[in-house]
Amino acid sequence: MLAWNLEKDLSSLSTEALIAELAKRQQTVGVRPAVVEENFQKQGRNIENLRYDNYLRGLEAEQTSGEAPCPVCKTMAKIRVKNRARTIYTLSGGHKFRRHYHYCGSCEKGFYPLDRKLELREKGEVSEALEKRLIDFSVNEPYAEAAERIALRYGLEVSTNLLRCVRERVGSDTVSVAGVALHEELVTNRPVAQRLSVQTDGCMLPPLDRWKEAKLVVVLREDCHLRGSKSSKGTTMEMRYAAR
């Protein structure tokens, strides 16, 4: 009964009042400013983690116990397994949730409606928002350094193996997309380049039968290139390669 009363009292407070009350409880006396700042960040992440857990609990409760439409053929599919656990990592840390597994007899394929609602990949452990950040770091530097920078920036402990898996999964998904569709997605809403710069180079490679020249072509938009000076060669933000 005491817990119920506390819950009722807290729920009657505004979000601003709750945040103000929380701020009053931060221990700062005798603590170095840098540590205070780090602690505030950590507490913020803990709250985000609880909020995301609550979000998941709500979605779990909303799951149908009946049939769900197959994402491919729209046939209503029954539940085959209830409450199968999955762990995911988001910007706020790790979360475990349970979802129902449905099976479509027409397609002979199973699916998890809640996974689709959360827009999760079939395989893998990270949310879309976290995946973007992991990719951003892991394509530009070695995995170990990327893991260190992610820990510093977001307070998240990620393994080099996780970074490798995410990068390989996103890479293979990108390659499997039809080239034309990928090109259209990349160029949508972009103005036509006023000038393109094309550079080529080649080198001789020893294949099985005889030496052959491998060609590499790089194409870049002028508006994606910052000119260099006598001492620097400039910076290119975006370019495309073709090799043969």
Cα–Cα distances (Å) from 122 to 1, 83, 126, 169, in that order, read: 42, 16, 11, 11
| Least distance to Zn ion, CB of residue 81, Å | 17
Which is nearer to Zn ion, 107 or 217 (by Cβ)? 107
| Least distance to Zn ion, CB of residue 182, Å | 27
What is the number of H-type helices and E-type strands within the chain? 8, 9
Q: What length does the chain have?
A: 244
Is there binding between residue 68 and Zn ion (CB under 5 A)? no
Which is nearer to Zn ion, 59 or 107 (by Cβ)? 107
Of residues 93 through 122, those in contact with Zn ion by CB under 5 A are 104, 106-107
| Least distance to Zn ion, CB of residue 59, Å | 23
Is there binding between residue 76 and Zn ion (CB under 5 A)? no
Burial (CB < 10 A; 0-12, 13-18, 19+), residue 191, is exposed
Joined together, the tokens standing for residue 243 give: 């090799």
Which is nearer to Zn ion, 77 or 170 (by Cβ)? 77
Strand partners, 86: 97
Joined together, the tokens standing for residue 52 give: 């995301």
Count the neighbouring beta carbons within 10 Å of the beta carbon of residue 150.
21
Which is nearer to Zn ion, 68 or 220 (by Cβ)? 68
| Least distance to Zn ion, CB of residue 64, Å | 16
| Least distance to Zn ion, CB of residue 58, Å | 27
Joined together, the tokens standing for residue 42 give: 């950590």
Is there binding between residue 239 and Zn ion (CB under 5 A)? no
Interface pick for Zn ion out of 17, 20, 50, 73 (rule CB under 5 A): 73
Is there binding between residue 158 and Zn ion (CB under 5 A)? no
How far apart CA 117 and CA 122 sit, in angstroms, is 12
Binding region for Zn ion (CB under 5 A): 70, 72-73, 75, 104, 106-107
